[in-house]
Amino acid sequence: MTDDAYMNERPNAWGRWGVGDEAGALNLIGPEQVKRAAALVRTGQVVRLAQPLSNKTPVPRHRSGLQHFMGRDGGDYAAGAKQPGGFQFAEDTVVMPLHIGTHIDALCHAWCDSRMFNNYRQETMRSTSGATRLGVDKMPPAVTRGVLLDLVGLRGRRLEDGEVVSRSDLEACLVEARLQLEPGDAVLLHTGWLAAQQGKSDVDFDSEPGIDHEAGLWLAQQDVAVIGADNFAVEVLPFKPGTVFPVHQCVIRDFGIPLLEGLQLEPLVRAGRHEFLFVAAALPIVGATGSPLTPLAIL
Amino acid sequence: MTDDAYMNERPNAWGRWGVGDEAGALNLIGPEQVKRAAALVRTGQVVRLAQPLSNKTPVPRHRSGLQHFMGRDGGDYAAGAKQPGGFQFAEDTVVMPLHIGTHIDALCHAWCDSRMFNNYRQETMRSTSGATRLGVDKMPPAVTRGVLLDLVGLRGRRLEDGEVVSRSDLEACLVEARLQLEPGDAVLLHTGWLAAQQGKSDVDFDSEPGIDHEAGLWLAQQDVAVIGADNFAVEVLPFKPGTVFPVHQCVIRDFGIPLLEGLQLEPLVRAGRHEFLFVAAALPIVGATGSPLTPLAIL
Amino acid sequence: MTDDAYMNERPNAWGRWGVGDEAGALNLIGPEQVKRAAALVRTGQVVRLAQPLSNKTPVPRHRSGLQHFMGRDGGDYAAGAKQPGGFQFAEDTVVMPLHIGTHIDALCHAWCDSRMFNNYRQETMRSTSGATRLGVDKMPPAVTRGVLLDLVGLRGRRLEDGEVVSRSDLEACLVEARLQLEPGDAVLLHTGWLAAQQGKSDVDFDSEPGIDHEAGLWLAQQDVAVIGADNFAVEVLPFKPGTVFPVHQCVIRDFGIPLLEGLQLEPLVRAGRHEFLFVAAALPIVGATGSPLTPLAIL
Amino acid sequence: MTDDAYMNERPNAWGRWGVGDEAGALNLIGPEQVKRAAALVRTGQVVRLAQPLSNKTPVPRHRSGLQHFMGRDGGDYAAGAKQPGGFQFAEDTVVMPLHIGTHIDALCHAWCDSRMFNNYRQETMRSTSGATRLGVDKMPPAVTRGVLLDLVGLRGRRLEDGEVVSRSDLEACLVEARLQLEPGDAVLLHTGWLAAQQGKSDVDFDSEPGIDHEAGLWLAQQDVAVIGADNFAVEVLPFKPGTVFPVHQCVIRDFGIPLLEGLQLEPLVRAGRHEFLFVAAALPIVGATGSPLTPLAIL
């Protein structure tokens, strides 16, 4: 499935965890990282970082939103459905695009040059099978230190659409928080974008604040395991001319770092904590390119 | 939405957390429970307790299985799809029943006498809205002590289909594990059922080992916050004559305790730990009666 | 399933074809109507009256659009899928709301006073079963004379949003076409609305030209079997103050006449024929409230 | 999109209706065929040739069945849903594989050598777009003479699974019916297979009576426009060793003749008519490889 003939000449982490590896930077979270993260729990407060999922969850125009169908509900009993042994129940089904709301991008989600992370060929992913390599089912859960980088706090205002978050911004946030990045960290970027979309009937997915390529590369080179943000794509939109999703290409495809998009960070920001136990576990959908999930900050 | 005229005369926890409460027994997990659970982390091993989700995940006959559709994949690029700026990506959609694989039952999933937990009326849940009360979106994440009760270890063999797990079995497991239940615990029952289904082309969902009503009531009265098992319904099937899902009725509807079904417990059993940090966070699907999820045991 | 205690005091066709009837006005199409309609075929031209169905087919905001997923396609073979015996194939799946594009409303689609056509109780239609009465599967195909009433031709211009098509307008069209309505006819109304929506990114479903209650009642009393139009709801929008879908209530629920909505009539208008063999056969989805379909005018 | 370099060396109809043609053998139905077919209407009886569609409609194991979800139903009103202006309604959605029940195979459904009918390249069909060539939306409706070839009548018994229907069987049926095939005919084959599956909980899709390659080729060379049957695949299963769906390859891909599968022919057989007006119109789903539909025989 991998092929040595192709040479990825950009900085990358290919081969770092072996030829057949499919976990990428999540390998940076070992037992020590888990233990250190668990030791950060102080107040016992649990903060849910996920947006609610419904047919109102905004999606870009080329995607369909979530549909939720009740297969059996209270109305059916009101209309006289039988209740053998007194038992009544309800069940339901969703039609759900996997990159909706608060979700994680699996390592097969983005690539270039026909090669995915760790030199897997794009032909490993078909309609019939889904992604036989690098699917979301291959991602270990992230249980590690979460580090909140509060760009809104740094700027003293919500970031504007199209505003770049640079490497030096990230470094300034760390100084402010008196923290240093460590291998295996989950870095969460607060830009204020998601909060700004509340109540809008038509969210613009073409313009948002986010990191540029240099900032993404720098984070990757700090050996972070996960990068998340409270926006649509982690990276700044629109892209620098001539580039398309350059951070996705660098971070996911070259370094094997999954992105967490659409995080709801306001409650965490209000809690005033910059490091905490972070837990995120995707649905193990075989061959999927991503998954909605409910990441937690345990304070 | 609640109505005082109805009187639930069976043992119950209605009103215990207030008239408008929708979280039920998950209220038993407070900051102290979280901190105590986090302090149980010793080796830093993370065990994923979820089955893989695919069109091969077994479902009972009256339900449809998961469907996974690639909206864009590697084959499209092999066939010549454009790659502006070098960027290539894939995305996908699932049609997913919410009570499939490893999943949690929300408090609106099961009821009787037309009343749901905490006296909510069944009319609060319709096709158009889903569950406006007690939906899975109202469930706080479970971050608490997990307690593994290993019935297979106790019996020295896999339990048989239809075999009852009684209150005294549960107590014997606790003695064996030198543990006592505490308020807010997540109790996980290992019956061996799921492992026994591996590779079967046609899983029988009508017969399985599990707890009986007395055992369920006893667990509820110990103030556990969650009950999980490695089977289809937590409770023994077939039911005692004249009853239908009596444990669901007692535990979910009377006591507000969510059930975790279809847990994959073999790796946890092999790890040999009976108490650990347990984390389970459902997808926040508004008005849903349950959710697949990936619970974790952090050892 | 029917209940004589309720009395529908408005003009109606309840009981006209028997207590247990579920076909309604389609009963008006007997062998004679079919033969007479077949005899209208002169040029042999076949005109398809359906809009294309895709994710671009406009839907009102409260509905989701069609989704089309390829389960196997050419890209998969380009990526190396096996072809045993040389055979290659493709297959696909839709998620499709049933009232989309060009579709027929079954007799269970609209009602009032908790009673559907022919006194069926609304409790006969639940989430678990769909419509056990008056479902689209109970509708015989419509093979009958089609009569085009060209309001655009009458007015010499496209009708405006909110413009009423009255009984006298319908009569004037008939005079113009030198035709009289006969029992069992399928009447098709050309308002120009659909053509006016072409290329709009955001179709307004709240305002359109269409018939008012009096015109609907008159058509029903002429014993037509089907009423169709090139708009969203056959009837004029917005409704007369104090009423909601009064034509649906009268025509579908009181008289058992199915509505055909979203017809593409321009090619038929261009052909210059006002009577023709009309054929419309819904998908026989058990218990459904409607169905997209491809009606034909055979000239 | 077409490419002259490839040479289809088997008997075929490529180029017969032009380089850019996407309608194939349906071109054989012109106004004369329509008029002659309409003239066959004698009794005015209309026979629906489609199976009911529901979650009970059998599908082969590799496909999912139909799912039907009520988005609003009678139960919701029983539970108290508002009814502004007295109006009540119901609506629903299906998840529907397109090759289910009684359906038509579009010309892009089956191919070989990476080339589809009329030399279209398989790369024209991707996950993102569906079939940009030869999709079901490009198929004109079939309004033509239907010819019933009753193999069950010929044999005096239902055909057995795996039993070949040969060219001489077809010719014998024609003699029996005192008919000759004409260009543009829709040929319907009655094998008894579908009737034999009624009530089976587990239909076997791997074995059935049907035509062999020679019979398929002969039909194609008679210039029929459509071939239908009351079985799963028109052709005999299992295939002759070394071949896979040879009739599909010959008929659809070489000759551009769509197949109609899963026809319900018993009522037509009982009516005793061998030629009639036949009408079949697929849903115009853009880029789809097939479509359920309700073909009609008008007697």
Percent of chain A with pLDDT over 90: 95
Residue A1 reports pLDDT greater than 70:
no
pLDDT tens digits, one per residue of C215-226: 999 999 999 999
SS3 state of residue B68: strand
**β-bridge partners, C147:** C187, C275
Residues C85, D244: contact at Cβ < 8 Å?
A: yes
Tracing tokens 């608060």 back to the chain, one arrives at A102
The phi, psi pair for D35, rounded to 5°, reads -65, -45
SS3 state of residue D133: coil
pLDDT tens digits, one per residue of C146-185: 999 999 999 999 999 999 999 999 999 999 999 999 999 9
What counts of helices (H) and strands (E) characterise chain B?
8, 17
- Kindly state whether A210 is in contact with chain B, defined as any CB-CB distance less than 8 angstroms: no
Show which of residues 89-108 on chain B sit within 8 Å of chain D, judged by CB atoms.
95
Does B71 contact D95 at a Cβ distance shorter than 8 Å?
A: no
**Distance between CA atoms of residues C256 and C118, nearest Å:** 8
- Kindly state whether C64 is in contact with chain B, defined as any CB-CB distance less than 8 angstroms: no
**β-bridge partners, D111:** C88
**Distance between CA atoms of residues D256 and D248, nearest Å:** 10
SS3 state of residue A181: coil
| Closest chain D residue to C292, measured at CA | D283
Residues in chain A: 299
CA C291 and chain centroid, separation: 9
Closest CA to B255 of B29, B1, B17: B17
- Kindly state whether A67 is in contact with chain C, defined as any CB-CB distance less than 8 angstroms: yes
Closest CA to D107 of D119, D117, D98: D117
Does B67 contact D64 at a Cβ distance shorter than 8 Å?
A: yes
Which DSSP symbol is given to D12? Answer: -
- Spell out the residues 6+ positions from residue D41 whose beta carbon is closer than 8 angstroms to its own: C34, C35, C38, C39, D276, D277, D298, D299
Q: Which two tokens stand for residue D271?
A: 């009516």
Q: Which two tokens stand for residue B238?
A: 């077939």
**β-bridge partners, A72:** A91
Measured between beta carbons, the chain C residues lying within 8 angstroms of A95 are 67, 95
Interface test with A, best of D70, D83, D289 (most A CBs within 10 A): D70
Does D73 contact B127 at a Cβ distance shorter than 8 Å?
A: yes
**Distance between CA atoms of residues B36 and B45, nearest Å:** 18
Q: Which DSSP string do the residues of B14-57 spell out, in sequence order?
A: TTTT-TT---GGGGG--HHHHHHHHTT--S--EEE----BSTTS
Max intra-chain CA distance, chain C: 67
Measured between beta carbons, the chain C residues lying within 8 angstroms of B70 are 69-70
Residue D239 reports pLDDT greater than 90:
yes
Query: Alpha helix locations (H) across chain C?
Result: 31-38, 74-78, 151-155, 167-177, 193-197, 213-221, 246-247, 266-271
Specify the amino acid at residue B135: G
Q: Which two tokens stand for residue C157?
A: 């211009």
Residues B211, B189: contact at Cβ < 8 Å?
A: yes
**Distance between CA atoms of residues A22 and A15, nearest Å:** 10
Residues B153, B56: contact at Cβ < 8 Å?
A: no
CA distance to partner chain C, nearest, from residue D125 (Å): 5
Residues D87, D77: contact at Cβ < 8 Å?
A: no
**Distance between CA atoms of residues C12 and C253, nearest Å:** 8
Q: What is the pTM of this model?
A: 0.97
Query: Which contacts (CB < 8 Å, 24+ apart) does range C9-12 have?
Result: C10/C250, C10/C254, C11/C217, C11/C220, C11/C221, C11/C250, C11/C254, C11/C255, C12/C254, C12/C255
Specify the amino acid at residue D203: V
**β-bridge partners, A121:** A115
Closest CA to D224 of D177, D259, D172: D259
Interface test with C, best of B64, B66, B69 (most C CBs within 10 A): B69
Residues in chain D: 299
Q: What is the mean pLDDT of residues A39-46?
A: 98
Task: Write the ipTM.
Answer: 0.97
Does B76 contact D122 at a Cβ distance shorter than 8 Å?
A: no
- Kindly state whether D79 is in contact with chain B, defined as any CB-CB distance less than 8 angstroms: yes
Residue D268 reports pLDDT greater than 90:
yes
Positive/negative CA dihedral, B84, B88, B89, B90 = positive
The H or E element spanning position D216 is helix D213-221
Q: Given this model, what pLDDT does residue D5 score?
A: 78
Q: Given this model, what pLDDT does residue C194 score?
A: 98
Does D52 contact C284 at a Cβ distance shorter than 8 Å?
A: yes
SS3 state of residue B268: helix
Does D67 contact A127 at a Cβ distance shorter than 8 Å?
A: no
Residue C4 reports pLDDT greater than 70:
no
Residues in chain B: 299
Residue B4 reports pLDDT greater than 80:
no
Q: Which two tokens stand for residue A261?
A: 């998009």
**Distance between CA atoms of residues D201 and D194, nearest Å:** 13
Residue D1 reports pLDDT greater than 60:
no
CB atoms within 10 A of CB D163: 18
Chains that touch A (3 or more CB pairs under 8 A): B, C, D
- Spell out the residues 6+ positions from residue B137 whose beta carbon is closer than 8 angstroms to its own: A52, A53, B284, B285, B286, B287, B288
pLDDT band at B2 (very low <50, low <70, confident <90, very high): low
Measured between beta carbons, the chain B residues lying within 8 angstroms of A73 are 125-127, 130-131
pLDDT tens digits, one per residue of A8-28: 999 999 999 999 999 999 999
Q: Which of D45, D75, D284 sits opposite C294 (nearest CB)?
A: D284
Residue B200 reports pLDDT greater than 80:
yes
Q: Given this model, what pLDDT does residue B3 score?
A: 57
pLDDT band at C61 (very low <50, low <70, confident <90, very high): confident
CA distance to partner chain B, nearest, from residue A126 (Å): 5
**Distance between CA atoms of residues C207 and C161, nearest Å:** 5
pLDDT tens digits, one per residue of A80-121: 999 999 999 999 999 999 999 999 999 999 999 999 999 999
- Spell out the residues 6+ positions from residue B295 whose beta carbon is closer than 8 angstroms to its own: A281, B49, B50, B102, B142, B228, B260, B263, B278, B279, B280
Counting one residue from C and one from D, how many pairs have CB atoms under 8 Å apart? 315
pLDDT band at C62 (very low <50, low <70, confident <90, very high): confident
**Which parts of C98-196 are beta strand (E)?**
103-105, 110-111, 125-126, 130-131, 142-150, 164-165, 186-190
| CA C220 vs CA A95, C229, D102: distances in Å | 39, 15, 33
**Domains of chain C, with CATH numbers?**
24-58+99-298 (3.50.30.50), 64-96 (no CATH)
**Distance between CA atoms of residues C199 and C206, nearest Å:** 18
Max intra-chain CA distance, chain B: 67
- Kindly state whether D70 is in contact with chain A, defined as any CB-CB distance less than 8 angstroms: yes
pLDDT tens digits, one per residue of D20-64: 999 999 999 999 999 999 999 999 999 999 999 999 999 998 779
Q: Given this model, what pLDDT does residue D163 score?
A: 98
Tracing tokens 């540029």 back to the chain, one arrives at A212
Q: Given this model, what pLDDT does residue D199 score?
A: 86
- Kindly state whether C123 is in contact with chain B, defined as any CB-CB distance less than 8 angstroms: no
Closest CA to C124 of C138, C142, C140: C138
Does C70 contact B70 at a Cβ distance shorter than 8 Å?
A: yes
CA B276 and chain centroid, separation: 17
Residues D111, D119: contact at Cβ < 8 Å?
A: no
Q: Given this model, what pLDDT does residue A95 score?
A: 98
